[in-house]
Amino acid sequence: MEQVFALILIFTFGILHGANDIFILEHLGKRNRGISGTGLLFLYIGFVAGAALLFYVLPTLALFAFILFSAYHFGEQHWAGRMEGRGLEKDLFLGAYGMAILALLFMFHADAVAGVVLQICGWSPDAILFQGLFGGSSLLFLVLFFRVVQPRGRFSVLLYELFLLGVFALVFKVSSLLWAFAIYFILWHAIPSLMDQLRLLYGRANRRSGRLYLKSSGLYWGAALVSLAVAYVFFRDPSYGFLPLFFSFLAAITFPHVLVMSGLLRR
């Protein structure tokens, strides 16, 4: 039941929150007088196809890049508008926050994560790698926190973030890998990201803006789900489970989505 419900959430809110990327690109392109909407569509599809091909040719590099992109993306969405720093310090801070969350998830599901990595890359990481990743990213986050976060209410913000980290640890510990990932990905990232997109694109988050969002993103949302179904039927390895293909698919659509959302949030 956990697995099924997790997949339902990811296939709905999870995929949907990145299904409006083409419209966002067109929105940004109009301001920048960039390429046409058709050109953007083909460029986006090419980016996704290139990411998928990278998983086939260089799976270790592709998986490593996916984790880095995801960590930065999680951090950027969570801390948008609450920082003073710029440049490298800011980027490292955002990446360190997201990496701490992911490493915490990996720590509590080291065996399951190692199994997925083995099926994708052909090698199995040790649990100590996840522990070191969590320790290093958490330390970097704390060091940079006092340099990039706005001074007003900084201490209370830090206490709140540490409290949330404890909540995540509890949730990750008692849940399966996919269910734990879905809880964080949907409730703490996808839905807040959807609200941000509605406010940035339409001025406010309400039913009307939600209908406009679905109208502009519905076709791409459906295409993403159909693409995953086709990949599962024709390209999966019968000796492997669903998770390796699933996370590879998520990675392929994550790379361009991170770049699109970074551009929108900077606007």
Contact 261/193 with Cβ under 8 angstroms? yes
DSSP-based three-state secondary structure for 101? helix
What pLDDT sits at residue 44?
80
Specify the DSSP element, H or E, that contains 252: helix 242-266
User: Rounded to 5 degrees, what angle do the CA atoms 201, 102, 251 make?
Assistant: 60
What pLDDT sits at residue 239?
62
Contact 85/93 with Cβ under 8 angstroms? yes
What pLDDT sits at residue 32?
54
In angstroms, the CA 260 to CA 219 distance is: 18
In angstroms, the CA 194 to CA 97 distance is: 20
What pLDDT sits at residue 8?
92
| Rg (the chain; Cα; Å) | 19
Q: Which residue ranges in the chain fall short of pLDDT 70?
A: 29-37, 84-86, 235-243
For the chain, give the mean pLDDT. Answer: 85
What pLDDT sits at residue 118?
87
What pLDDT sits at residue 75?
92
Q: Which residue type does 124 have?
A: S
